[in-house]
């Protein structure tokens, strides 16, 4: 999302704007940025820079003001099928997920909480995007609000992959699913409190897929062991 938003910001405000918070750090998610700029009305003193979009030190460029951020999101909402224009953060990873889902017979549900844009619904845009990147017939659920943990519990999911710590905490609190956090900032910035939760931090989607394969193998081993035990007891 960050490259697409950077491109639109430059079209609106010039080539000198900078949406990055720090070197190597991605933008916040769409739901987070939208809530930041929509919480309070603009006032005469509302030109201060939100921390989440301060420019990266040493990279040049200026940050956007709150007013400009709102203008940016209004622009995004008017772009025809904006959510189909994004690139993959990790090229090829959607196709890799599709391949593993077929191999391991995973049932995959994509949960998203994106603001609407012009054109098709967010759900259809997301489905088209996933299919274009290699995942045929994706199941997409658009959440307007609420806890991902409650959704995971209601659907009895085994694992949830997310890039927001608060969503993973919801999953850990409200369900028995394994919450896998993709942490795209520097490793030393991983919140210390995660060690006291069930949240499994990884640093790429590829690592998250490896975690899912490990979980699948462990559960297959346990089922095999239980099957052998049942057979042994039934023969007594």
* 34 and 16 inside one domain: yes
φ/ψ of 182, rounded to 5, equals: -85, 110
pLDDT of 130-147, one tens digit each?
Answer: 999 999 999 999 988 889
Q: Which residues contact 12 (CB under 8 A, 6 or more apart)?
A: 68, 71, 72, 75
Residues 122, 54 within the same domain = no
Last residue of a domain, one of 51, 78, 105: 78
Contacts 24+ apart (CB under 8 A), 28-37: 28/52, 29/1, 29/163, 29/164, 30/1, 30/113, 30/114, 30/115, 31/113, 31/114, 31/115, 32/164, 33/69, 33/73, 34/73, 34/115, 36/69, 37/66, 37/69, 37/70, 37/73
Final residue in a domain of this structure, among 78, 105, 123:
78
Q: What is the pTM of this model?
A: 0.76
Cα end-to-end distance, the chain, whole Å: 60
- Does 96 share its domain with 160? yes
Mean pLDDT in residue range 160-177: 94
Number of domains in the chain: 2
Range in 8-17, 39-48, 60-69, 180-189 with the lowest mean pLDDT = 39-48
Residues 204 and 154 in one domain: yes
Same domain? 108 vs 223:
yes
Confidence of residue 113 (pLDDT cuts 50, 70, 90): confident
Q: Residue 161's pLDDT is what?
A: 96
158 and 213 co-located in one domain: yes
Residues 46-72 have pLDDT tens digits of: 333 333 344 444 456 788 888 888 898
Mark whether 73 and 142 lie in a shared domain. no
Cα–Cα distance, 112 to 207 (Å, whole number): 20
97: containing domain = 84-233
Confidence at residue 69, expressed as pLDDT on a 0 to 100 scale: 86
Check residue 60 and give its pLDDT: 61
């Amino acid at each position: 999302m960050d490259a697409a938003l950077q491109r639109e910001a430059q079209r609106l405000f010039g080539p000198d704007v900078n949406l990055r918070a720090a070197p190597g750090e991605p933008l916040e998610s769409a739901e987070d940025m939208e809530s930041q700029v929509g919480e309070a009305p603009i006032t005469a003193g509302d030109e201060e820079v939100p921390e989440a979009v301060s420019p990266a030190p040493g990279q040049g460029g200026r940050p956007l003001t709150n007013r400009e951020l709102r203008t940016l999101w209004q622009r995004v909402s008017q772009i025809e099928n904006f959510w189909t224009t994004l690139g993959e953060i990790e090229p090829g990873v959607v196709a890799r997920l599709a391949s593993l889902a077929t191999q391991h017979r995973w049932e995959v549900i994509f949960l998203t909480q994106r603001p609407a844009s012009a054109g098709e619904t967010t759900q259809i845009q997301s489905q088209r995007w996933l299919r274009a990147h290699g995942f045929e017939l994706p199941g997409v659920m658009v959440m307007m609000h609420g806890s991902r943990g409650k959704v995971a519990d209601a659907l009895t999911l085994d694992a949830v992959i997310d890039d927001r710590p608060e969503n993973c905490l919801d999953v850990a609190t409200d369900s028995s699913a394994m919450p896998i956090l993709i942490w795209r900032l520097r490793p030393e910035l991983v919140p210390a409190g995660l060690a006291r939760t069930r949240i499994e931090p990884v640093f790429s989607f590829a690592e998250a897929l490896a975690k899912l394969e490990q979980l699948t193998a462990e559960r297959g081993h346990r089922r095999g062991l239980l099957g052998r035990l049942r057979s042994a007891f039934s023969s007594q």
